[in-house]
């Protein structure tokens, strides 16, 4: 690029000034904060506009959501990242063809207050939630999701170690430990003889 600017008849000082301006523009663009995407804004609005109740029972968690105007096959319930329960659906307005037909028939909307669009809710499940046992039912515009709890871990029982009769020390130690001597019994060679000599000396 420097050669191209030089070819245009610009002197070195002018080329340096242009490069400084380009560097400033690059720094400004890098420091400019990134705006959230349209999908992120849409999901955030949908989560705020989707009411839900969370009820904890002794053996399960219940998630109750108002999702009117939908059919059961228009609602999706799934897990993300292993422990995030996601509920989503979308209520669409009438198709354009139906609106045009209504206009031809002399029908017009005076007021439109019902909510349309995406419905979304995310729940971070607790550690004791059993993600393998989740069921969902939809009736009269209300979705109910039940997540069973995992049973509490059983307390560890004390480990009993059986005491067996074994050998002490190295080889032959077992035989030595089982050898019980009483007074007057014959010991190893020389023990009894030494005793008699000691009595004679007395």
If you write DSSP's letter for every residue of 92-142 in order, what string do you get? PPPPHHHHHHHHHTT---S---S--EEEEEEEE--TTEEEEEEEEEEETTE
Domain boundary assignment for the chain: 51-149
- Alpha-carbon distance of 181 to 123, in angstroms, equals 77
What's the longest Cα–Cα distance across the chain? 144
User: Residue 143: how many CB atoms within 10 A of its CB?
Assistant: 23
Whether 191 shows a pLDDT value over 50: the answer reads: no
Whether this prediction's pTM lies above 0.75 is answered by no
pLDDT band at 169 (very low <50, low <70, confident <90, very high): low
121-154: pLDDT as tens digits? 999 999 999 999 999 999 999 999 999 999 988 8
Radius of gyration of the chain (CA): 44
Whether 60 shows a pLDDT value over 80: the answer reads: yes
Compute φ and ψ for 27, nearest 5 degrees: -65, -40
Topology (CATH level 3) of domain 51-149:
Immunoglobulin-like (2.60.40)
- Alpha-carbon distance of 67 to 74, in angstroms, equals 10
**pLDDT given at position 41:** 86
């Amino acid at each position: 690029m420097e050669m191209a600017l030089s070819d245009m008849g610009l002197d070195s000082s002018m080329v340096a000034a242009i490069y400084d301006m380009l560097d400033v523009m690059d720094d400004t663009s890098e420091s400019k904060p990134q705006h959230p995407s349209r999908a992120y804004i849409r999901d955030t609005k949908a989560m705020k506009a989707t009411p839900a109740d969370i009820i904890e029972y002794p053996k399960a968690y219940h998630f109750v959501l108002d999702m009117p105007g939908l059919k059961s096959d228009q609602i999706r319930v799934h897990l993300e990242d292993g422990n995030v329960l996601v509920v989503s659906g979308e209520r669409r307005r009438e198709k354009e063809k139906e609106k045009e037909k209504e206009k031809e028939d002399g029908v017009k909307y005076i007021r439109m207050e019902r909510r349309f669009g995406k419905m979304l809710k995310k729940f971070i499940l607790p550690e004791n939630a059993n993600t393998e046992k989740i069921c969902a039912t939809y009736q009269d515009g209300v979705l109910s999701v039940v997540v069973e709890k995992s049973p509490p871990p059983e307390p560890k029982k004390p480990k009993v170690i059986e005491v067996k009769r074994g050998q002490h020390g190295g080889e032959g130690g077992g035989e030595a430990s089982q050898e019980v001597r009483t007074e007057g019994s014959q010991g190893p060679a020389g023990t009894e003889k030494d005793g008699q000599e000691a009595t004679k000396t007395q």
